[in-house]
Every structure is written in structure tokens, then in C-alpha cells.
Amino acid sequence: MNSFQQNIRNFSIIAHIDHGKSTLADRIIENTGLVSNREMKEQFLDNMDLERERGITIKLQTTRLLYKAIDGQEYIFNLIDTPGHVDFTYEVSRSLAACEGALLIVDATQGVEAQTLANVYLALDENLEILPVINKIDLASARPEETILEIEDIIGIDAHDAPLISAKEGVGIVDVLEAVVKKVPSPKGDPKGKLKALIFDSYYDNYRGVVIYTRVFDGTIKRGDIIRLMNTKKKYEITEVGVYSPGPMPVSELSAGEVGYVCASIKQVADARVGDTITLENDPATEALPGYKKVQPMVYCGIYPSEGEKYENVKDALEKLQVNDAAFLFEPETSTALGFGFRCGFLGLLHMEIIVERLEREFDLGIITTSPSVIYKVIMNDGTTEMIQNPSNLPPLITIDHIEEPIVKADIMIPKEYVGSIMEICQERRGNMLHMEYITENRVSLHYEMPLNEVIYDFFDALKSKTRGYGSLDYEFIRYEKSNLVKLDILLNRELVDAFSMIVHESKAYYRGRFVCEKLKEIIPPHQFEIPIQASVGQKVIARETVKAYRKDVLAKCYGGDISRKRKLLEKQKEGKKRMRQFGTVEVPQEAFTAVLKYDENK
Amino acid sequence: MKINKTAESEKKSLGVYIHIPFCIKKCNYCDFLSFEKIPEEVQNSYFLALLREINIYSEYYGNNYYVDTVFIGGGTPSLVKESHVNDLISAVRNGFDVSENAEISVESNPNTLTEIGLKTYLKSGVNRLSIGAQSCDDKLLLYMGRIHSTGDFLSNYTLARDCGFQNINTDLMFGIPGQTTGIWIDTLEKIIQLKPEHISFYSLQLEEGTRFFSMYEEGSFKETDDETDRNMYHTAVEILKSSGYVHYEISNASKDGYQCKHNLKYWSMKDYLGIGLGAHSFIDGTRSSNVSNLEQYIRIGINNSIDKTSKGLSSTFTCWQHKNTKDENISDYLITVMRKTQGIELEDFRNRFGIELKQLYGSVIQKYRNLGLIEIVENRLRFTEEGIDLSNMVLAEFV
């Protein structure tokens, strides 16, 4: 091992949402002196507005820092940030694979959470050195000793000398940096060996094409190299090699142990998939780095231009997002109710929400999203299988032998006082309890098998609501399972609105149907005629509500020539109309589509 | 007074509204700008301010406008000394050419009319009297917080007739909690027997800031359901029509030739000047409104430093003004003119705005024609009977 490699530390920070990951990253960057306070935006690593607002990291950021340690030597720190959500588990695992160590931040007021555990297991899978850090010790409710014991008990790693810090107040940051120097192993690997570099993230840049974040394990990569991506088998010429410090800074080469970026005129991120291995075309490695997986969307929904929005605008925006997000898929589809739109695939619900929000905010688009759906495996009478992610495409029942739905293993961590109510909501959602364990005296971990379609419906909202935000959830796909599923349709004024159709378990059809009818009744304004709202399964109506006809919408009097008053009233009325979507003769406010999906504690 | 009087024929017509914001007692449904128990000295200074405002505006507009309607409304104009009303009319006559056959209306409430008062009105040139009868059911009158009984109304009405008023309007209300369709028909019939030239019939609107509204919030006011309200409305229209009244505006009917000329200005986008507290004006495509704080209004009125150099509708009484864009003129036109049962003359629209209405709103018109809410008859676009009930739904498309 050369001395250059000896002074490199590649590490990530893993934490549950809100445990202070981004704040600690900020402090580390400040303390290594690369960025002055003045230049720093709050929470440097979260560079999307949306991420800053939600306090979560979605896209990875990587920064190379120089740290002069107490031993007098200078160290290169490659801080690799990880997304903090279950939807992005694969991305997390790949960025962890690029490291030798991980800082595990645990909030001293909250203790270990489901997400913390999930990430720790990922880090253990990659054989990382895990450095626990106890954060938020400045808070009155902090209980650092207990937190240390919790880490040791639950995770089984030594935490007695974990730095006790307050990232917010800047307390204990040097301890963290010194721990990184002392405990995170320096990278190994032969700079003269055959090139093996891991793609752990990528993004699209208008000028340089796809920028690949990479960790070189063996060999050296430099400008002009002809590379091959070992899984997608594509060939490119390297146009730029560099590191982020914190902005892009070209360097002459990256060699074994280093982390940086490469550009190779790649058109979209789907061509440089996370987890793939870069090697040289002329002198290729014999086998790729392990762990590559082509990520598959788990959740689908329709995205349609809302009234007055152009189809082309939505299409352009989706294309732009896709260039940057290999996990996001879309294809055109048509709905009788909503017209031309797109069926979109996401890693999970959060991923979906983020894309939808970005379309609305960054691209300023008016869109309607339909009920999210999972992918159902439909086994036909003739033995063939169809994968269905749009309820409207479900073949006629008579041609179907049976339907299978995806089942996930859900790990739920909650304070013990909520066990009863959470077991109840799991049961309501067709959960099958595997086991339950007390993590500490007060905290419980529940392990369930649950259909994914229940999880994506409103489970997370219900969990948060029932536990006052203290519950956490992690889930992973385990298998497909035969299930008694039916297609629930909604009819407005006797016309089927396909955008409201959903596939539900037979036992849920009535409740869901009634809920949707009641919601729509609240939301759909009265028309001049009566509007029946019906939920049906097959030909059978299982729930019905009626929006009574509007009889009166008239101003008796204009006050002494005060036209502006009447005008304001009408303008307000018109504003409301703009958000309406016309289905046959019925006008439906656009929020109806989200409202029928929202968790309602009283229902 | 004026040196350069233009001939009336070259001037444009103007309606003048004068607001009297005083009442003996605020009614339970009323959210108009009016106050109860205002001391007489304050009322006197208010009238000085009104005269002041009339003077100022006559200097601005007297040369270009003649007045063909005056409407003294309130509040309860009949509450104040008749000399005040006389002074106001004189001031208008001093400042403007007032056409010989001008309609001059005064609003009144039963129990406030006297023989002397009525005769003074007539002498001043008042030729139209509006009386707030509201209902001929004493229980409902009490419930609404009115200060009179049916008997009071009948005697005041007869008095007005005896004094010589030949054009009388009565205001009526329906959709009052506790009012059955039977009671409503009874009121209508009693009123029709009196043969007033004009009848206004308003659906009770629950407005914020009223006594009824606080009752509503407490849960003790139960709004009349829409079904009953509309039934009462259509019944009224039917009875009025069969009794020889012309239903010419959503809430107004009259004997032939007795339509309220002043109110028609609001519904025809004609110019009108609002004088007094919170009054609204529309002149030369500019809408404006006056301050609505009584003290402030009086202060401005007695303050001599009013900027006489400013032009148009920007006297210091004005607190808001807005020059309509062409689009706003079009939508104002549509939302006001459509209140008339005759609707919009498509030709008039074209002449005014240089474009066909159908070119602007073809699809909207088609949509609501299909729904049976509007119709085109003899080159006029108007609401159908059913359409009136849902008129806001249609008009909202035009703003």
C-alpha cells in the first residue's frame, strides 16, 4: 500500500431521517476548512430545494475534503452522502460499497430507529467499520448513556467511546474527525491492476452529459481512456476526470482507493447505472464488482396534464427527470377520463411524491396523479402471466385464473405504548405478524409480512399519525402471493371514471368503496343536477352517495352599484372552477384524486 | 353659475346616488353601510359633507353630464329631516342640469313617513317613493328586527298615495326562516292589492357581520333550504306576472313603464355618481368608491383644503378607484346586463365592444345553452327561468 492511499478515508454518514446527518456533514465540511462559512448554504449536501425543505437527502453528494489531523498529517476525506429513505436502499447500499467506514449518527433523544437499523445492516453487509456518533446532546431530553447501551444491545457494536456531539452547536466535531482518521481503514487496491471502478451515483449535466460518481478499487482511470461498463456492456471515451472539492475540479487521474467523478459523453443516467463497474476496454478486469442490480419500480401511478396544461410540457419534464433518475420509468397511456398521459414507475411512495412535487414546483406544471398501484401478477386461464400496474388494464375476470400480489417484509419500530394500535392497523392492512421484540424497555420492533398495496395506500401516514411521529418503517419485497383481489370502479353520474379505479383485496372493497364515495361527495360541488357516486365491483354496486342538485346560486341584490363586490365573488367562484376537471357532465376538483388516497383517522 | 353651459343634448346622462347611512335600528339581516343612534349634530355635519361632495363633483362633471336619475338611498333617508333631502336635491339641481322628467327616488321605511315630510319631498321634486315593507307578517317583521308592523306599512303607504305619490315601490323579502310559502304568497297578494307601480322581491342573503349571522354561528338561525327559496321565488314571479307586472330584473318587477330608471343604470353599464359614505361610482369606465368611515367622511367634508386641481374621480372622498380595462368592461357588462330578464342585446354588445359575444364566449354560451340555463331569443342572450337560479355559475365564466 502506498502512502497516498494510507491517508485516504472513504466514509459515509448513515442516520435515520432528522437525526442530524446533513448538519453533521456541514460541520465536517466547515472544520476541514475547504468551504468558508460564508459560502456555505445551510446543509451543504442537500442541494435540491425540495430536499432542504423536507430535511431529507434524495440524491447523493460526494465531497473530497482535506483534514489536518492532530498527528500532524494531512488526510483526504471522501465524504459520501447517502439518501436517507427506504425507497433508495439500493442506492444507499452502492454508496456504502464505495466506503471503508460509516459514521452512524443516532439522535440521543430518539435512540435507534428502524431506518437506522436498516442502514446499519446495509453497512455491515459491506463490511464497513461503523463509528457510532451520539448527536443532539445539547437537548434537555438527550439520554446519551441509554443511547449508547441501545446501540450496543440492538446493533451489537461497541459504542463506549462514541463521540458525544451536537452537530447543531458544533460540539465534538473534532472528535468525530479524529475517529475517522483512527478507525476508518484506509483503502486497499492496486493502482497498477486492471481497472475496476464502482459507479455509485450519477447525474445529468447539460454541458458534460452524465457525470458518474465513482470509487476506484483497482487500477487507474484518466482522460482519453476507452472504458467499458461491465453490466450494460457499453463503451465510452473518458472526457474528464475529477473530484468534488466542493465544486467539480478536474484532476489528471483517479487511482485505486480514490473517489471522484468521470464524464464520458453519456446521454442519460440509465446508461450508467448505479452499481455497474467501469473497466478499460483494452485491458478489462475479469469480473465485475459484486452487487449490481437493475432497480425495478415497485409503485406505479398515472400522471396526466391537468386542465389547461399541455401534454408536451409534461412529457418534456418527465424526460428531463428520467435523464437524471434511472429508477424512474414512464410510458404513454390513455385514460378515458383524463385523456393522454403517462404511466410512471417509482421505487416507492416517497420517490413518487418527490417526482410529483418536482413536476409541480421545478417545472411549474399542472398535473393530476391517479391512485398508486403495485404490479400485480395476473395468471391467465391459458397459463400465461401478465404483469399489470394499471388497474384499468386488468383483463376480464373470466379470463383470469388468479392474481398474485407483491408481499413485503415490514419492520416497524415504535414506542411500546403504541403496540396495540399499530398491531391493529397492521391487521387491518392484512398484515401477518412474524414476531415482535423489545429493543429496550420502551421500544418495540414489530415484524410483519404485508401486501405492498396496503403499505403504499396509507400505511405510513397511519403509522405516523397513530404514533405521533415516533413510529418508523422499513420494508423490502419478499415474494408474490396469490390473493383474492378485485377491481374497484368508481362511477360518477353512472359513468365509469377509469382514473379512480383500483385493485383491492376483496375484503377491503366495501370499505374502500364507501370511503371513496364519501370523500367524493365532500369534494364534488353541487351541480344543477343530482350526481350519484357509485363504487362497484364487477357489475355490482357496493356503495353509493349522492351529491344533491344545486338549486340556488344567485345574488338577490347588487349593493348600490357596487359591482366590484359581485365581481370578487364571481372571480372566486371562477378560481374554483379552474381547478375542476370535467368528466362527462360532472366537474370534479383536481384535489379529489389525492383526497381519496389520504389517510383519514376517522374512517 | 356656469359660464359655458353645453346644451343638454351634447351632454351624457348621469345617475346620482346619495347615501344616507342612518337608521333607527339596524335590521337583523342588514349588512348595508348604516348606523343606528347617530346624534342629530353628527347627522347635520354629514349632510354638510354631502353638499360639499355634490359641489365638488358638479364642478368636475356638471359641464359634461346632465342628471336624469337621482336616488337617495340608505339606511333610512326618510328618517332625517325632510329639509336635508330638499337641500340635497337642490344642490344637485344647482350643480347639474337635471332633466325635466328625471326620476327622483327616496327610500323610506314604514313608521318614518309623515304628511309634512311626504309633501316636502314632492315639492322638492321627488317623484318616486320606495317603501321597505319586507313582509306583511308581523311575526316575521319582529324576527327580522324591523321597527314597524304591517299596519304601520299600510297606513304609510296610504298616506303616500293620498299625498300624491304616483310611483311607489315596495321592497319585499322571502326565504326568511319561519316563513312558509303560504305566508309569502299572502304577503305578495296583500301588496299586489295595493297596486304599487314597482315591487322588489329579494331572497334573504345571510351576510357576515349581521345579527342573523351571529345567530347562525350560534346555531339558532336555520337557513331556508334552497328548494323552498327557489319555489318562493318562482311562485312570486308567476303571481306578479299574472297580476300585470313585468319581471324585468332578477329581483324586480314593475307595471309597464315604471321600471326603476336609476337601478337600470347599474344593469346597463351607464354612468352613475355615488355621493356619500361608501358610495360607488362608475364614470367614464372608472369604478371608484368612497371612504366608509363616518367620522373620516365628515372630516373630509368639512376640511377646506380639498385639492380642487385634481381631475376626475379622485376627490379625497374616494378611497379606491380603478380604471377598467377593456376586458373588465366586457365582463362588467356581462355580469350586470345579464341581471335583466331581457338579457344582452347581441347587437348592443357588438356596437360597444367591436366584437361578437359569440366570438369571445362561444363555447361557454354553448355549454350553458345545452344545460338549459341560458337561451338566445330574438338576438338577445338571456337566462332561462331555471338559469336565473344558477346565474352565478354562468356569470363566473365571464369574469
- Give the start-to-end residue ranges of the domains of chain B: 8-267, 346-398
CA atoms within a 13 Å half-sphere pointing along the CA-CB vector of A8: 26
Q: Containing H/E element for B397?
A: none
The pLDDT, as a whole number, for residue A535 is: 96
Q: Is the pLDDT of residue A602 over 70?
A: no
Counted across chains A and B, CB pairs separated by less than 8 A come out at: 99
Instruction: Give the pLDDT mean for A514-523.
Output: 93
The pLDDT, as a whole number, for residue B231 is: 95
Q: What is the value of ipTM here, to two decimals? A: 0.87
CB B77 within 8 A of CB B107: yes
Lowest mean pLDDT, pick from A80-89, A195-204, A520-529, B211-220? A80-89
Instruction: Give the pLDDT mean for B22-44.
Output: 94
Q: How many residues does chain B have?
A: 399
d(CA B189, CA B195): 10
Q: Which residues of A533-552 are buried (b: 16+ CB within 10 A; e: fewer)?
A: bbbbbeeeebbebebeebbb
User: Can you say whether the dihedral through the CA atoms of A19, A25, A30, A36 is positive or negative?
Assistant: negative
Residues 226-245, chain B, touching A (beta carbon < 8 A)? 226-227, 229-230
**Better pLDDT: A363 or A195:** A195
The nearest alpha carbon in chain A to B250 belongs to A556
Grid cell of A127 as nine digits:
463490511
Instruction: Give the pLDDT mean for A344-350.
Output: 85
CA atoms within a 13 Å half-sphere pointing along the CA-CB vector of A543: 18
Instruction: Give the pLDDT mean for A139-153.
Output: 91
d(CA A453, CA A248): 42
Q: Which residue has the cell 304609510?
A: B156
Q: Which residues of B39-78 are buried (b: 16+ CB within 10 A; e: fewer)?
A: eeeebebbbebbbbbbebbbebbbeebbbbbbbbbbbbbb
The chain-wide mean pLDDT, for chain A, equals 86
pLDDT band for B191, please (50, 70, 90 cuts): very high
CB B133 within 8 A of CB B172: yes
Q: Is the pLDDT of residue A39 over 50?
A: no
Q: Is the pLDDT of residue A51 over 70?
A: no
Q: Where are the alpha helices (DSSP H) in A62-138?
A: 89-97, 114-125
d(CA A212, CA A60): 11
Cross-chain residue pair B390–A557, CB shorter than 8 Å: no
Q: Where are the alpha helices (DSSP H) in A140-233?
A: 144-150, 173-183
CB A498 within 8 A of CB A491: no
**Better pLDDT: A82 or A207:** A207
Cβ neighbours of B336 in A, within 8 Å? 558, 563
The pLDDT, as a whole number, for residue A55 is: 40
The pLDDT, as a whole number, for residue B116 is: 96
Cross-chain residue pair B331–A567, CB shorter than 8 Å: yes
Number of Cβ atoms within 10 Å of the Cβ of A403: 21
Cross-chain residue pair A562–B280, CB shorter than 8 Å: yes
The pLDDT, as a whole number, for residue B336 is: 94
Query: Could you give the percent of chain A with pLDDT greater than 70?
Result: 92
pLDDT band for A273, please (50, 70, 90 cuts): confident
CA dihedral of residues A318, A319, A320, A325 (deg, nearest 10): 80
The pLDDT, as a whole number, for residue A16 is: 74
C-alpha of A347 from chain center: 7
Cβ neighbours of B130 in A, within 8 Å? none
Cβ neighbours of B391 in A, within 8 Å? 553-555
Q: For residue range A228-248, list pLDDT tens digits in order.
A: 999 989 999 999 999 987 778
| Residue B361 touches partner A, C-beta closer than 8 Å | no
Residue B302 Cα, gap to closest chain A Cα (Å):
25
**Better pLDDT: B192 or A587:** B192
Strand A196-205 to A443-451 pairing: unpaired
Q: Containing H/E element for B337?
A: helix B326-337
Question: Please, which residues have CB within 8 angstroms of residue B208's CB and are 6 or more apart in sequence?
Answer: B31
Residues 164-203, chain B, touching A (beta carbon < 8 A)? 202-203
Residue A556 Cα, gap to closest chain B Cα (Å):
5
CB B109 within 8 A of CB B147: yes
Q: Which residues of A165-188 are buried (b: 16+ CB within 10 A; e: fewer)?
A: bbbeeebbbbebbebbbebbebbe
Grid cell of A292 as nine digits:
449490481
Question: Please, which residues have CB within 8 angstroms of residue A547's CB and are 6 or more apart in sequence?
Answer: A520, A521, A524, A525, A526, A527, A530, A531, A533
Residue B266 Cα, gap to closest chain A Cα (Å):
6
Lowest mean pLDDT, pick from A379-388, A560-569, B182-191? A560-569
What strand order describes the sheet that includes A240-244?
A235-237, A226-229, A277-280, A196-205, A209-218, A259-263, A240-244, A248-250
The nearest alpha carbon in chain B to A574 belongs to B396
- Return the percent helix, strand and coil in chain A, to nearest 5: 30, 35, 35
Q: How many residues does chain A have?
A: 603
pLDDT band for A57, please (50, 70, 90 cuts): very low
Q: Which range has the top average pLDDT, A173-182, A246-255, A435-444?
A: A173-182
Residue B250 Cα, gap to closest chain A Cα (Å):
7
pLDDT band for A294, please (50, 70, 90 cuts): confident
Cross-chain residue pair B282–A564, CB shorter than 8 Å: no
Lowest mean pLDDT, pick from A46-55, A170-179, A494-503, B212-221? A46-55
The pLDDT, as a whole number, for residue B395 is: 93
Residue B285 Cα, gap to closest chain A Cα (Å):
12
The chain-wide mean pLDDT, for chain B, equals 93
Closest CA to B361 of B382, B336, B331: B331
Q: Is the pLDDT of residue B4 over 50?
A: no
CB A430 within 8 A of CB A506: no
Closest CB to A528 among B267, B274, B390: B390
Closest CB to B287 among A550, A553, A563: A563
Cross-chain residue pair B396–A577, CB shorter than 8 Å: yes
In chain A, the largest separation of any two C-alpha atoms, in whole Å, equals: 91
Q: For residue range A82-116, list pLDDT tens digits in order.
A: 765 656 778 888 889 999 999 999 999 988 887 77
The nearest alpha carbon in chain A to B370 belongs to A585
CATH topology of domain B8-267: TIM Barrel (3.20.20)
A87 DSSP 8-state letter: G
Cross-chain residue pair A564–B280, CB shorter than 8 Å: yes
Cross-chain residue pair A564–B226, CB shorter than 8 Å: no
The pLDDT, as a whole number, for residue A2 is: 61
Q: Is the pLDDT of residue A58 over 50?
A: no
CB A414 within 8 A of CB A426: no
CB B324 within 8 A of CB B332: yes
Grid cell of B370 as nine digits:
345545452
Instruction: Give the pLDDT mean for A575-600.
Output: 78
pLDDT band for A406, please (50, 70, 90 cuts): very high
pTM greater than 0.90 (yes/no): no
